[in-house]
């Protein structure tokens, strides 16, 4: 068995990414879809940090990681506000039922 290196972390990130994608595509509930998005963002971040560790002499990858986390927080807050608004208008957060443009 080869010693743990860059490839291992990238494989972990890839699998997490695909699991997140699966959640985003299949789930009906908007909040669960958001959870899938967070999973995808985490997977991408693992790649950034792994590259920063194994390929990069500086901390550029980690800087990207910090920015990714900050932006994920901002997007989660706004997305959740939108979800709550949808719930107030349609009494449901199932994405396949929220199909009206009229509000």
Least distance CB 102 / other proteins (angstroms): 14
Residues 41-100 that bind other proteins (CB under 8 A): 42, 45-46, 49-50, 52-55, 59, 62-63, 65-67, 69-78, 80-85, 87, 93-94, 96
- The b-or-e profile of 15-45 (16+ CB within 10 A means b, else e) is ebbeebeebbeebeebeebbebbebbbbbbb
The distance from CA 38 to its chain's CA centroid, rounded to whole angstroms, is 3
The closest of 36, 32, 33, 4 to 20, measured between CA atoms, is 36
For other proteins, the binding residues (CB under 8 A) are 1, 3-4, 6-12, 14-23, 25-32, 34-36, 38-39, 42, 45-46, 49-50, 52-55, 59, 62-63, 65-67, 69-78, 80-85, 87, 93-94, 96
């Amino acid at each position: 068995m080869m010693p743990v290196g860059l490839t291992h972390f990238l494989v972990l990130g890839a699998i997490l990414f695909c699991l997140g994608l699966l959640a985003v595509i299949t789930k009906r509930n908007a909040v669960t879809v958001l959870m899938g998005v967070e999973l995808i963002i985490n997977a991408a971040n693992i790649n950034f940090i792994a590259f920063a560790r194994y390929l990069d002499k500086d901390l550029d990858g980690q800087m990207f990681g910090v920015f990714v986390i900050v932006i994920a927080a901002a997007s989660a807050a706004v997305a959740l506000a939108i979800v709550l608004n949808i719930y107030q208008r349609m009494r449901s957060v199932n994405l396949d039922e929220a199909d009206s443009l009229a509000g």
